[in-house]
Amino acid sequence: MMAARTGSAYPATGLPRPDAGLAGCRAARPTALASAFAREQSRAASDRGFLVTSSPRLSVVWDERFHDYDFGPEHPFSERSRELAVRLLETVVPPADPGPIEWLRSVPPAERASLERFHRPEYLAKVQAASRARETVLLDAGDTPGFPGCYEAAARIVAGADRGLGTTLEAGRPAFHPAGGLHHAHPDRASGFCIFNDVAVAVSRAVDEHRKVAYLDIDAHHGDGVMYGFYESGRVLDIDFHQDGRTLFPGTGFPTECGRRDGAGLKVNVPLPPGAGDGALRPLFHRIVPTLLRSFRPDVIVVQHGVDGHVGDTLARLQYTPAAYADVDRTVLGLARELTRGRLLVTGGGGYRADSVSRVLARAGTILAQVDAPDDAAALPARWREEYRAALGATAPRTWGEHPRPAPSPWRREDEEKLVGVLESTLGVRLPRPS
């Protein structure tokens, strides 16, 4: 998710600037992750195991009314590409009862009490007024306009995340909310196409229920609403991979931003330069995420699965391929099985090319449902390709993995080691050497 502008302007968060030094995290919480791990050592082995459930193996939250979250035909963000992902997933894993996927298709808007888990009452009142206004009301500096019915539309997206969280906590199987992932909204304001922050509301619920949450964000844009919303929380480990904030909205997410007070050492920012691709994401993900999650021992994992890091995206300049996303998905599912008894909520996020968003999110669904995921060379179903053409007036891709050819990447092994060194110094941990 992102806003149309770019730049490095720092928001008025009151947080330390990226050059504020490294001592704060180490001094405030020198062994936060190690201590968390030690406290959890006594947990019974059965409580750490994966809860083996019968079919279904995945719950997908999709209500056709998610389309109501619509800024208009000229706006970059549209739920249409998420709908195409759902249609593709339905095509390759046809709905059945019983079947590997449970479909949750009726989602009323979230109640005000749910929204107030993260958002301030005065901001909710502002959105309600914009929702009823006859003229367009800007909810931020210009990227996120209000529209008739915007309160209910945004609240329904929030309810989808809440429904997914409740399902995974109760059933012990992953939940998938492709329409969600609106990670830029702050407690008191909209930002970056995000009116309400569905992932932050879901995380808040889990924290309110005294659960520990590992939040992973692979959107090209730093998930500032979630990061700073829980910056002081010791119950939220936030690991965010994104394009360097000096080159892209929202201009935040530097490796020296590591949390404060109880949250010190639990906020992990992994900024990548424009042009970085699989060679940056995959090694760093495998070095950082399993190690920190195993130390933190979360009760549930929440993933913002933005696809705007895909090569060729129109609003960002990273160069991930479908294979990298599939690798991340399989790794996260394995960690959920190992650490949280299968409790995993995956949402959508940014992504501004329908051909990449639809295929990446649909294949994520097959992986989460633990069915045979198609490989890159597999042909896409003809029926879906026709639906794609009818919806967008464009020719659909032919295979699951075709993508624009990436440009030469500026990322080198020495860049990886330099970034890992900064993270190790900031967090006070040792990360695995490259394999």
Question: Catalytic amino acids?
Answer: 184
Q: Order of strands across the sheet with 175-177?
A: 101-104, 58-61, 175-177, 344-347, 300-304, 213-217, 236-243, 267-272
Total count of residues recorded for the chain: 435
Query: 242: closest CA among 318, 185, 184?
Result: 318
Integer Cα distance of 231 and 244 in angstroms: 19
Integer Cα distance of 339 and 49 in angstroms: 7
Query: 183: closest CA among 247, 257, 241, 262?
Result: 241
Q: What are the φ/ψ torsions at residue 97 (nearest 5 degrees)?
A: -135, 105
Radius of gyration of the chain (CA): 20
Integer Cα distance of 145 and 70 in angstroms: 10
* Extended strands (E) in 36-112: 58-61, 101-104
Integer Cα distance of 336 and 131 in angstroms: 38
CB 181 within 8 A of CB 198: yes
CB 356 within 8 A of CB 308: no
56 preceded by cis ω (within 30°)? yes
Token pair recorded at residue 368: 């989460």
Distance of CA 52 to the CA centre of its chain: 25
Question: What kind and span of H or E run contains 239?
Answer: strand 236-243
Integer Cα distance of 88 and 364 in angstroms: 11
Biggest CA-to-CA distance, the chain: 59
- Return the amino acid letter for 92: V
List 288's β-bridge partners, or say none. Answer: none
Other CB atoms within 10 A of residue 337 CB: 18
Query: 267: closest CA among 24, 39, 43?
Result: 24
Q: Where are the alpha helices (DSSP H) in 212-277?
A: 224-229
Q: Is 399 exposed, middle or buried (0-12, 13-18, 19+ CB in 10 A)?
A: middle
CB 163 within 8 A of CB 114: no
